[in-house]
Chains A and B, each alone.
Chain A
Amino acid sequence: MSSPADTEPRKLDLIDKAALNPELDDLTRKDYEWGFVTDIEQESLPPGLDEGTVRFISAKKNEPEWLLEWRLKAFRHWQTMTEPTWALVDYPPIDYQAISYYAAPKSDADKPQSLDEVDPELLETYEKLGIPLAERAALAGVAVDAVFDSVSVATTFKDKLGELGIIFCSFSEAVQEHPELVRKYLGSVVPQKDNYFSALNCAVFSDGSFVYIPKGVRCPMELSTYFRINAANTGQFERTLIVADEGSHVSYLEGCTAPMRDENQLHAAVVELVALDDAQIKYSTVQNWYPGDKNGVGGIYNFVTKRGACRGARSKISWTQVETGSAITWKYPSCILQGDDSVGEFYSVALTNNHQQADTGTKMIHIGKNTTSTIISKGISAGKAQNTYRGEVTMLAGAENARNYSQCDSLLMGDECGAHTFPYIEVKNPTAHLEHEASTSKIGEDQIFYLNQRGLGTEDAVNLIVNGFCKDVFRELPMEFAVEAQKLLSVSLEGAVG
């Protein structure tokens, strides 16, 4: 399918551009370090988390009373919870009181004024990824309006979507403009008390995206955070809600391949998808947050809750993710297959190098009759990294003739990394049909030598092997994303062999 968005040069997550230059941001932050006053007039909050913090955020966003109450309820519950420890990841304790939960968007004056002021290493990576010059500036957080007229692009798309009745805006805007929709669906897929990180998100979420596709409408373009430039600074506690009404279709792209830097170490996003009768949602992610340096210093902790409800009959939700960034990834995009004949899919490539740790997978919960799910997970570990697939397939008593196919493959490069697979299965209906395949392979020296002998350099040889390993997942990505994802893997693996 060709859509107008396909002709656009690239999807950028401009909302996060403000966070791209940590050094500079540190300087601007210093001003706010001292003194704790919860003053609604101020632009940022000092570190700390209590009910006042939650009220401040809500007030700043001019939220209705019900949403404030909703946040507070989540916060009170969060206080009774403890951080989960079951994931196969290892990190020092997080001090939630040391985090600042609200910072206003940076003004252009605070940003680097040209590429000359940007970290050369970051620019080198953009170069390798083949990102056009103009967009490098945007990504690196340079004050871009002069370089790159994104506002008008976004406006054009918004008009076009508006004609079809599609709502695509920041979460804050949706709260103001479409409160009835937000109220109806918010928390309906991921309950406030779902887990520690989602509860925290409910209490302090900053901003995110909202999408509503009306009955019978097929969204004519890939919706990307690229086009939603009006919400700055949503990186840390992002909140996304996508509702596809009966018979509608939408494909949503999140993130981009360019490395994303952020001074916030902890990220705890929540994404909720709702598909009504015959609706289809395709959600694709490329996650390339800062993974820390070669020695494992720094890097983002990415604790994400993503879940989709196939609420209607014959509805379909498909998650595709390419995860190469973050120091720690804790993420299980899941599907609740409630409607009869509904379909859930999960396609994942998770790559960990150096000291990165990823514990990722999915949950497929079959409730309706004839529900089917497919899980294809490809984990790649290099360096000293640990890569875990954790998946759960549940078939409840009413799920007549439910089917699942799972395939979990791991690829190891070198002797110091690890791959782990934890598939959990719970079946309460005897007509259920499950198939599970798993493999672990190692990129062997003989394999690389063989390709060398045919004229390929070692890096090209590794890329060929890795891309071959991932192709079942790449096939699911929108065309342009797939090409970028391949490049991204090769850049992420540079120096991993040889």
Chain B
Amino acid sequence: MTNDNTPLLEIRGVRATAGGKEILKGLDLKVGPGEVHAIMGPNGAGKSTLARALTGHQDAEVTGGEVLFRGKPLLDLEPEERAREGLFLAFQYPVESPGVNNSTLLREGLNAIREHRGEDELDAIDFLQIAKAKADLLEMDHAMLGRAVNHGFSGGEKKRNEVLQMLVLEPVVAVLDETDSGLDIDALKVVAKGVNALRGAGRSFVVITHYQRLLDYIVPDFVHVLADGRIVKSGPKELALELEEKGYGWIEEELSEASAS
């Protein structure tokens, strides 16, 4: 059913409501293997709602359309099943879990994913080796592994921890929701290094961001503008520069001209 060209993620006409209001109004996006797609767009446009709809968060209720993940319908799956299939979300606002050990969570998550793939469970020692190696890549103190999930982490530490989780879980499609916001420039480079380390033929990224700066380090194949619940413009990486320079107003003008004519 799948071949090398099957998109890893295909979003077809997805509509979704949040808090009773329609936010996504028929959104299409196709992400091929190995591709990096950047999504930009004004505040409140629905970028995080898209991430929630994809991962199955109850606050984003999908009312229409479909999503194929490696050619298979995604939306009927429970959130944890989507994760085990290889869909990962780096949260815009990572959630704190006092009492839950960071590395315990990661090990349980990784083992659930491995079990789903028919692979052997990793024991605590093997796991820790992997986790420490990934932490080193991100220049993270190993002590972070032993702390409670995001509890008392600084904003930047939380973002870095999201990337650590991504590196350990090795997803097929990773959605990064504003992972760059709150990071200082050195941290940004480190995080980009982590993402780039994972880039490869079998893996794709959807990178939500407000800043062109990130895209200097994680160079996208495509840039999309999400406005008013749809992808309203797509282009090569240069589009991001243009957006940074000119904002979103001109796109809206372009759109209204197009609809007027």
Q: Which residues of B contact A471 (CB under 8 A)?
A: 99
A103 within 8 A of B: no
Q: Which residues of A contact B94 (CB under 8 A)?
A: 450
* B84 (CB) vs chain A CBs: closest residue: A455
Q: Which residues of B contact A469 (CB under 8 A)?
A: 98-99
B212 within 8 A of A: no
Q: Which residues of A contact B97 (CB under 8 A)?
A: 447, 450-451, 464-465, 468
- B51 to chain A: closest CB distance in Å? 10
A446 within 8 A of B: yes
Q: Are A468 and B101 interface neighbours, CB within 8 A? A: yes
Q: Which of B3-11, B109-117, B119-127, B195-203 contacts A (4 or more CB under 8 A)?
A: B109-117
* A449 (CB) vs chain B CBs: closest residue: B57
A85 within 8 A of B: no
* Bound-state Cα–Cα, A162 to B219, Å: 77
A28 within 8 A of B: no
- B62 to chain A: closest CB distance in Å? 15
A108 within 8 A of B: no
Q: Which residues of B contact A455 (CB under 8 A)?
A: 80, 83-84, 108-110, 112-113, 116, 169
Q: Are B83 and A453 interface neighbours, CB within 8 A? A: yes
Number of A interface residues in the complex (CB < 8 A) = 22
Q: Which residues of B contact A464 (CB under 8 A)?
A: 97, 100, 104-105, 108
Q: Are A449 and B79 interface neighbours, CB within 8 A? A: yes
* B80 (CB) vs chain A CBs: closest residue: A452
Using A464-B105, A468-B148 as known contacts, say yes or no to A454 and B169 having CB atoms under 8 A apart: yes
A110-127 CB contact bits vs B (8 Å, 1 = yes)?
000000000000000000
* Bound-state Cα–Cα, A358 to B160, Å: 42
- A379 to chain B: closest CB distance in Å? 14
* Bound-state Cα–Cα, A471 to B101, Å: 11
**8 Å CB contact of A454 from B99, B106, B148:** B106
The interface centre, meaning the residue of A444, A454, A457, A467 with most chain B CB atoms within 10 A of its CB, is A454
- A484 to chain B: closest CB distance in Å? 19
Using A449-B57, A465-B100 as known contacts, say yes or no to A454 and B109 having CB atoms under 8 A apart: yes
B91 within 8 A of A: yes
- B19 to chain A: closest CB distance in Å? 14
* Bound-state Cα–Cα, A250 to B219, Å: 66
* B90 (CB) vs chain A CBs: closest residue: A453
Please give the residue numbers on chain B whose beta carbons come within 8 Å of chain A beta carbons, in ascending order.
55-58, 78-80, 83-84, 88-89, 91, 94-101, 104-106, 108-110, 112-113, 116, 148-149, 165, 169
Please give the residue numbers on chain A whose beta carbons come within 8 Å of chain B beta carbons, in ascending order.
441, 444-447, 449-458, 460, 464-465, 467-469, 471
Q: Contacts A445-B58, A464-B105 given; 16 further ones with Cβ under 8 A?
A: A441-B98, A449-B57, A449-B58, A450-B95, A451-B109, A453-B89, A454-B106, A454-B169, A455-B109, A455-B113, A455-B169, A456-B105, A456-B112, A464-B108, A468-B98, A469-B98
